[in-house]
Amino acid sequence: MFCPQCGKEYEQKVNFCCHCGTAMFTPARAERKPLTLSKKDKKIAGVCGGFAEYLDMDPTLVRVLWVAAAVFGGWGLIAYLIAWIVMPAASPAAEAPKAAHSSAVQAAPTP
């Protein structure tokens, strides 16, 4: 593998050239889910569930962190209300494939 900028040769695959800093290849971008209110992990408005789905975290951990921010930081309740107003609701089309998959799994006969 050669650096396209300075011509340095590498035996192993590297992300960046150690001499000039040029990117050796462009990594594929993962498609990110939009930040929306959750319909499946909803306790009050779905804000914490939506953040958990967006960040790929456990919703309970997000709720605990949000309550800690509300109690110790003082801004958690205001931020929750703003997020509730600003975040769009999840589209039914985004939830439909998951629901169809889970119903297909549940409908499978048991041996």
Mean pLDDT of 59-80: 86
3-state secondary structure of 23: strand
Confidence of residue 99 (pLDDT cuts 50, 70, 90): very low
> In this predicted model, what pLDDT tens digit does every residue of 42-66 receive, in sequence order?
788 888 888 888 888 898 998 898 8
Closest CA to 86 of 28, 58, 53, 46: 46
Burial of 79 from C-beta contacts in 10 A (0-12 / 13-18 / 19+): middle
Buried/exposed code over 34-53 (b: 16+ C-beta within 10 A; e: otherwise)? ebbbbbebeeebbbbbbbbb
Residue 33: how many other CB atoms lie within 10 Å = 13
